[in-house]
C-alpha cells in the first residue's frame, strides 16, 4: 500500500512531481549518502539537478530517482528490472 502514495503526489493534469524546499533538503541528505557511482552517473545526476532546481520530474523519472534515494541502489541492481546483456 505504500506505493499508492507515490501516485497520489502527482498533479493529475501534468503527471509531474513538483518539489518543495523541505523535500529538496530531505532528498539532498539522502543524495549525500549515496555511493559515488550513482552521484556521478549522468542519468541520476541530471534527475537530481532538476530536483534541486525545482524543475518538475515526470512520473517515470521520479520513480527511478525515489527508488535510488530510498534504497541506495538502482532498480536494475535490485533485480526489479531485467538486465539484458
CA dist., res. 57 & res. 1, Å (int): 22
Q: Please, what is the average pLDDT of the chain? A: 83
pLDDT band at 13 (very low <50, low <70, confident <90, very high): very low
Per-residue pLDDT, 74: 87
Give 28-55 pLDDT, tens digit per residue: 999 999 999 999 999 999 999 999 999 9
CA dist., res. 41 & res. 3, Å (int): 26
Domain boundaries, the chain: 2-71
CA dist., res. 63 & res. 65, Å (int): 6
Say what the pTM is.
Answer: 0.74
- Supply 77's cell numbers: 541492481
Task: Give the helix/strand (H/E) hosting 16.
Answer: strand 16-17
Amino acid at each position: 500500500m505504500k506505493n499508492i502514495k507515490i501516485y497520489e503526489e502527482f498533479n493529475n493534469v501534468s503527471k509531474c512531481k513538483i518539489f518543495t524546499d523541505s523535500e529538496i533538503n530531505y532528498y539532498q541528505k539522502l543524495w549525500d549518502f549515496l555511493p559515488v557511482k550513482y552521484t556521478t552517473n549522468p542519468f541520476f545526476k541530471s534527475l537530481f539537478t532538476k530536483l534541486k532546481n525545482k524543475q518538475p520530474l515526470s512520473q517515470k523519472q521520479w520513480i527511478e530517482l525515489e527508488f535510488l534515494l530510498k534504497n541506495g541502489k538502482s532498480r536494475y541492481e535490485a533485480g526489479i528490472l531485467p538486465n539484458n546483456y
